[in-house]
Amino acid sequence: MSAIDVRDLLKVAERNDSLTSVPSPLALDMTGESGNGSQAQPPAERPRGSWLSPIVLAGCVRLAEFCGLVLLGLGLHQALLRGVVPLAPRYVTAVLAVTVAALALFQASGSYRIGAFRDLSRTAVKLATGWSVAFLMVAAAMVLGKIADHYSRIWLLSYYMAGLGVLLAGRVALAGFVRAQMAAGRFDRRTAIVGGGPAAEELIQALNAGGDTGIRIIGIFDDRADDRSGTEVAGHPKLGNVSDLVTYARHAPVDLVVFTLPISAETRILQMLAKLSVLPVDIRLSAHATKLRLRPRAYSYLGDVPLLDVFDKPLADWDVILKGVFDRLVGLLLLIGLSPVMLAVALAVKLTSPGPVLFRQKRYGFNNELIEIFKFRSMYVDLCDAGATRLVTKTDARVTPVGRFIRKTSLDELPQLFNVIRGDLSLVGPRPHAIQAKAANTLYDQVVDGYFARHKVKPGITGWAQINGWRGETDTSEKLQRRVEHDLHYIENWSILFDLKILLTTPLALFKTDNAY
């Protein structure tokens, strides 16, 4: 849960339709020409939504080193002592003890930070020291326990030397991989600074003085005129105002937004947050320049710079992997299990009306990216509405007899399992809406302030709104408002157990067909 509720910010947005700002120097077509002469060209060097974050990489390295060292110790026993000394539990215990102690020392020395992966010379010393100390600790325990004579000295020495070699060789390969990835723009957290002037300059100087903080500042965004906020701060260009930052983040990766405004500017901060709340980024408030001092646990840190957490990405690091694996695994099982039903629906569509079985439609996906979803065709070919400019009603003549049944039972959505396996959709999430979808003859994003906040996660085949009865026609603004409220509740409270609950409840919710046409 974030420190500030998204729905509270949407209320702020309703009261503040626009911020007082200078004309935007960042064109909406993102051509890169800014009014102050700086280049605001969004880089495309890193894949959007990359799952391999520094935290995930560190976890993978820990697991690889743990498994490698354990297998090495057991393998050396088999190679050196097989047929002479049996693989007794004491050898397994010794291997596990050395490995766990070594990894704990590596962790304490900072050897699992992204900077340590890249800087091999310093890390090699820490690894050698940690591995040696771990062996000394276990050897001391053996001596004190008067069991040292039960272990082969040849095995112990071989394990020490081979283990150190494996660790260093692995880190050499890892350093090359990390350098290549960082040269391609990965791993660094792409950071936007909101607010210019002396406060922003002090923050940037503090970040630079802190050494390897793992961030890359992409630019400054400020809603004030240039006489109060110059075109450049500490060597970084001003790229526009807060609205421009939203546009920028739709076209290029942005991981972190840091506010340098004083906490006393509450109204101004809330106005900006209301606009930025639609983005899947971490948002922090710099506490570097403020005189207010809280307990250390109240802060998160970039190097030595204290920050106050405002918003977190709904899904990050291992959560992204967990949900992705869950989606593809369960999606594949559902696709196999429901294949007879899908085949029957496909035959019914093909035999009862001319035209293709599948209907393709562009819809909004994660972070407002356009995706193409699949459905069983439910309308006559010459009457299909790919843009969904007109809602389907109860007696809509465009819908075929078979189409009416599969729409009411949601069987037309089953081909979206292919979208799940492809990675465009999740099994559970806010339903993807068509680009031109309207409620009360008004585009969705114009009906509900902060509507695009529902796109902070991947859309899903089913969702919290659907199992609570908010599926089907959205002919009124109230119906759309309730959908969005349920979608935001899901985003703020996501967990795998929540996904399972929604999936298991979905078949029961399909019997509620009052609004499904």
Residue 46 belongs to some domain of the structure? no
Comparing CA positions, the residue from 255, 256, 221, 267 lying closest to residue 240 is 221
Position with higher pLDDT, 280 vs 37: 280
CB 255 within 8 A of CB 279: no
Band of pLDDT at residue 312, cut at 50, 70 and 90:
confident
Last residue of a domain, one of 245, 277, 311: 311
- Report if residue 48 sits inside a domain: no
Determine the pLDDT at residue 426: 95
Q: Are residues 63 and 106 in the same domain?
A: yes
Same-domain pairing of 170 and 130: yes
Task: Note whether 394 and 487 are same-domain residues.
Answer: yes
Based on the fold, state whether residues 125 and 212 are members of the same structural domain: no
Residues 227 and 164 in one domain: no
What pLDDT is attached to residue 158?
95
Q: How confident is the model at residue 273 (pLDDT cuts 50, 70, 90)?
A: confident
Residue at a domain's end among 294, 311, 328: 311
Residue 163 burial (C-beta neighbours within 10 Å; 0-12, 13-18, 19+):
buried
- pTM over cut 0.85: no
pLDDT of residue 330: 94
DSSP string, 452-517: GGGGSS--EEE-HHHHTT--S---SHHHHHHHHHHHHHHHHT--HHHHHHHHHHHHHHTT--TT--
Tell me how many degrees the CA angle 309-314-318 measures, rounded to the nearest 5.
100
Would you state the pLDDT for residue 2?
A: 44
pLDDT bin (cut points 50, 70, 90) of residue 226 is low
The domain of 205 spans: 6-41+187-311
Q: What is the DSSP letter of 111?
A: T
Total domains in the chain come to 3
Contact 376, 349 (CB under 8 A): yes
In this predicted model, what pLDDT tens digit does every residue of 422-480 receive, in sequence order?
999 999 999 988 887 777 777 787 888 788 889 999 999 999 998 888 876 676 788 88
| Contact (Cβ atoms closer than 8 angstroms) between residue 208 and residue 144 | no
Do 477 and 342 have their domain in common?
yes
> Does some domain include residue 284?
yes
Q: Are residues 159 and 263 in the same domain?
A: no
**What is residue 194's three-state secondary structure?**
strand
Whether 199 and 177 share a structural domain:
no
Task: Give the integer Cα–Cα distance in Å for 479 and 215.
Answer: 42
State whether 333 and 265 are in the same domain: no
Provide the 3-class DSSP secondary structure of residue 351.
Answer: helix
123 in a structural domain? yes
* Whether residue 58 is found in the same domain as residue 171: yes
Q: Look at residue 47 and tell me if it is in a domain.
A: no
Cβ-Cβ contacts under 8 Å for 106 (sequence gap 6 or more): 65, 112, 126, 127, 130
Name the token pair of 80. Answer: 């050196």
Query: Which of 107-111, 141-145, 209-213, 237-241 has the highest mean predicted lDDT (pLDDT)?
Result: 107-111
Which pLDDT belongs to residue 516?
57
**Average pLDDT for 494-517:** 81
HSE on the CB side for 123, CA within 13 Å? 21
1 located within any domain: no
Is 70 exceeded by the pLDDT of residue 98? yes
Instruction: Write down the pLDDT at residue 290.
Output: 62
pLDDT of residue 475: 67
As a whole number, the mean pLDDT across the chain is: 82
Rounded mean pLDDT, 173-189: 86
Give the pLDDT confidence score for residue 50 in this predicted structure.
Answer: 65
Kindly state whether residues 407 and 505 are assigned to the same domain: yes
Reported as a single tens digit per residue, the pLDDT across 390-425 is 667 677 778 888 888 988 888 999 999 999 999 999
Same domain for 265 and 167 = no
Question: Higher-confidence residue: 461 or 515?
Answer: 461
Nearest by Cα to 453 from 15, 19, 10: 10
Residue 378 lies in a domain: yes
